[in-house]
Structure 1
Amino acid sequence: MDPITHAVVGVAAAVAVGADVSLTNPAIMAALLGAVSPDLDIIYQYWGDHVYLRHHRGFSHSLPGLLGFAVVIGGVLSFLFPELGFVMLFFSAFLGALSHTFLDLLNSYGVMLLYPFSRKKYTLNLLMISDPVLLISSMAVIYFGYQGLNLAYPVLGLVFSYLLLRLFMRRRAEKLIRDYYAGHLDKLIVMPAFIGLAKWDFIVRVQKKNIVGQINLFSCKIIIHKKLKLISEEIKENLEKTKIGKLFKDFTPFFHIDYYIEDNKLIGKFTDMRYFVRNRFLHHATVIVDKDDFQVEKALFQPYSPQNNIEIS
């Protein structure tokens, strides 16, 4: 989710539990700081795209990480505003931070909720990266709170209803896709599209192919972006065992592997199937191995563009 939505939702959460709407209110400050604090993992960008993408939504978005941020924010603000007390400021900061992780849980990138105990990314696949309905609803909570009107819970009820609607839409998309393929699917993943409330991206595995496409629920039209042929399990497993293979598998749960042979070298290509933007996939990786002994000669992580080559040693 985008930073503005995170900030607005965090403040709205504090208003919903009774905080007065004022930028000088320490509880609002704590909620606002808590709501944006998980994205401090942007500091990983200093070491490059591959480090940032590998750790993004890791510890800083986990439950232990949220507690850590809340303790720090609550401690600093309670020192500056002793009249409110640590417990209240800790609670406000934790509420804001929790709203951040909850929002990120709702989109397709996911969060490592239980890090460092598990690196698994959890996702509910309900919302786009930037959701206008959620943003406007949160702004309404803040506005009504500023006007002294206690309408937070009715608005939150509407937000909950909207999330149920999104769940219904995803289930509807899943049914239409299953019908389109006459139920002959080995795997089906449906995710919110980058743009468009009625559009849903999907990945299906059928007839030894990974197929990536999009469905529009208004028109019920299905667009196929790419059909990717599956390779043999033996070669796939060998490529996954390489360092770049493990890194890419850790980075995305939905990836495709292809390969070709050139000058006695096997060149493996990893593709993140989640994001298809401007007629191409967003993230890739390449590994070059000796065809006979499978020794890695070169490995490249290619975030955002196939031309963005970051060598992994």
Structure 2
Amino acid sequence: MDTGTHVVMGLALGGLSTLDPAVMENTATASSVLIGTIIGSQAPDIDTLLKLKNNAVYIRNHRGITHSIPAVLMWPIAIVALIYPFFPDVNLLHLWIWTFAAVFLHVFVDIFNAYGTQALRPFSSKWVALGIINTFDPFIFSIHVMGLLLWALGAHPGYTFLAIYAVILVYYIIRFQYQQMILKAVKKVVPDATEIIIAPTMRFHQWRIAVMNKHQFFVGVAYKNQVSIFDRFNRVPIPESPVLQAAKKDKNLSAFLSFSPVYRWELDEYDDYYEVRFIDLRYRSNGHYPFVAVVQLDKNLKILRSYTGWIFSEEKLRKKLDIIHG
């Protein structure tokens, strides 16, 4: 989920903790638990700082080890160790329980996004992405904000958020059923599909779809139970050409390939350089595919420059590659 949603979830867990007698009986425990749930709800996303280094490192590592099983167990211990000196009278067990709940909830809800996490590490490096809830879901964020406002107005935070989380549970079930309905609709349009990726959007009834069979890629949207295919691309295997093999050694393209399961590629030759472009087909927006990896090589197959990330115009891409447009 997005940062804002994780923040309100941390506050909501702090409110929910008021149902715990051990929390309410001790002011130090209540205060420390609220701090613990807020920090715990953000801690796994500390890897966002990798963006400051470069996109390749960020793409390859975001929601990786910081969302893994060992990390989910270690984050609460580290957070409790950070908080304890300021609240020596705290109930350590209950501080740990609620902080652990915040960390676990963060990773758990991220699994339901299309981006997903490597939550099964170290047992598996597979990305777990159920594609049911958008990274920012207006309903989930709004109902949390509503709960916080009710808390501020004097409502009991524990019972308020208990009711809200019951509603959210039903919402997740509805979204799962909706996704299954879309899946059936896609199979009718592409009956020989070998892989189907369905990704939610901020609009409740609209979903992105990327489908492949043995020979083609299909990209489109589903609205309610109606599927519209906008683009079709032939599946062309990556040849064992010297240019492409050299390009695949680039860190940006390597990071892209480690993350993207559905893509097409292009190879262009210019007077004094080659350009290799890989295009992720999952994120079509207004007829454009913004998530790409581009590598430029000279005629001796030395990498000149490269980039991977989100680009919404060719001009911006050229600027990123430090080439004069035109």
Query: How would you bin the TM-score normalised by the shorter chain?
Result: 0.7 to 0.9
Shift of 1:288: 4.8
Q: CA deviation at 1:254?
A: 2.7
Following superposition, the deviation at residue 132 of structure 1 comes to: 1.9
Check the 8 A contact 1:231/1:258 in 2, yes or no. Answer: no
1:284 to 268, 292, 311: 292
- Are 2:261 and 1:253 aligned? yes
What is the CA deviation profile of residues 85-112 of structure 1, one whole-angstrom value per residue up to 9, with x for unaligned ones? 3322222222112121122111111112
Q: Report whether the alignment pairs 1:300 with 2:316.
A: no
Q: How does 1:50-61 map to 2 (within 5 A)?
A: 50-61=56-67
The within-5 A match list for 1:84-233 is 84-115=90-121, 118-142=124-148, 147-148=155-156, 150-181=159-190, 183-193=191-201, 195-206=202-213, 208-217=215-224, 220=226, 222-224=228-230, 226-233=231-238
Using a 3 Å threshold, how does the CA distance of structure 1 residues 117 and 241 change in structure 2: closer, same or farther?
A: farther
Query: 2:3 maps to what in 1?
Result: 3
How far apart in 2 are the matches of 1:123 and 1:207?
A: 23
For the 8 Å contact 1:13–1:99, the answer to whether it is kept is no
Letter in 2 for 1:55: N
1:117 offset after TM fit, Å? 5.3
- Equivalent position SS for 1:188: strand
Trace 1:39-54 onto structure 2 (pairs within 5 A): 39-54=45-60
Counterpart AA for 1:256: R
Q: Which residue of 1 aligns with 2:314?
A: none
Q: Equivalents in 1 of 2:248, 2:307: separation in Å?
A: 15
Structure 2: unaligned runs, 5 residues or longer: 312-316
Once the two structures are TM-superposed, the CA of residue 151 in structure 1 deviates from its matched residue by 4.5
Distance in 2, matches of 1:253 and 1:239, equals: 21
What amino acid is the match of 2:31?
Answer: N
The equivalent of 2:12 in structure 1 is 12
CA deviation vs aligned residue, 1:207-257 (integer Å, no higher than 9, x gap)? 622122111117x25251x33322235449957853444322213233322
Q: Deviations over 1:49-105 (max 9, x none)?
A: 222222211222222223332112111211111222332222222211212112211
Alpha-carbon deviation of 1:32? Answer: 0.7
The structural deviation recorded for 1:144 is 5.8
Give 1:228-239 correspondences, 5 Å limit.
228-235=233-240, 238=245
Equivalent residue pairs, number: 305
Change over 3 Å in CA distance of 1:85–1:229 after alignment to 2: same
Confirm or deny that 1:275 pairs with 2:283: yes
Q: TM-score, normalization: structure 1?
A: 0.83
Equivalent residue of 1:89, what SS?
helix
Asked if the contact 2:214–2:235 (Cα under 8 Å) also holds between the matched residues in 1, the reply is no
Instruction: Give, in whole Å, the separation in 2 of the partners of 1:287 and 1:40.
Output: 29
Distance 1:56 1:205, change over 3 A: same
Whichever residue aligns with residue 4 of structure 1, its letter is G
Give the 3-state SS of the residue equivalent to 1:150 in structure 2. Answer: helix
Report SS of the residue matched to 1:276: coil
DSSP-derived class of the 1:54 partner: helix
Answer whether contact 1:78 1:85 (CA < 8 A) is retained.
Answer: no
- 2:69–2:122 Cα contact (<8 Å) kept: no
Distance 1:53 1:256, change over 3 A: same
8 Å Cα contact 1:108-1:191 kept in structure 2: yes
Q: In 2, distance between residues paired with 1:138 and 1:231?
A: 46
How far apart are 1:152 and its partner, in Å? Answer: 3.8
Unaligned runs of 5+ in 1: none
Asked whether the equivalents of residues 144 and 150 of structure 1 are also in contact (C-alpha less than 8 Å), the reply is no
SS in 2 for 1:111: coil
Q: Normalising by the residue count of structure 2, what TM-score does the alignment of the two structures yield?
A: 0.80
Cα deviation 1:143-192 (Å, max 9, x = unaligned): 566522624444322211111111111111111122123x1323211111
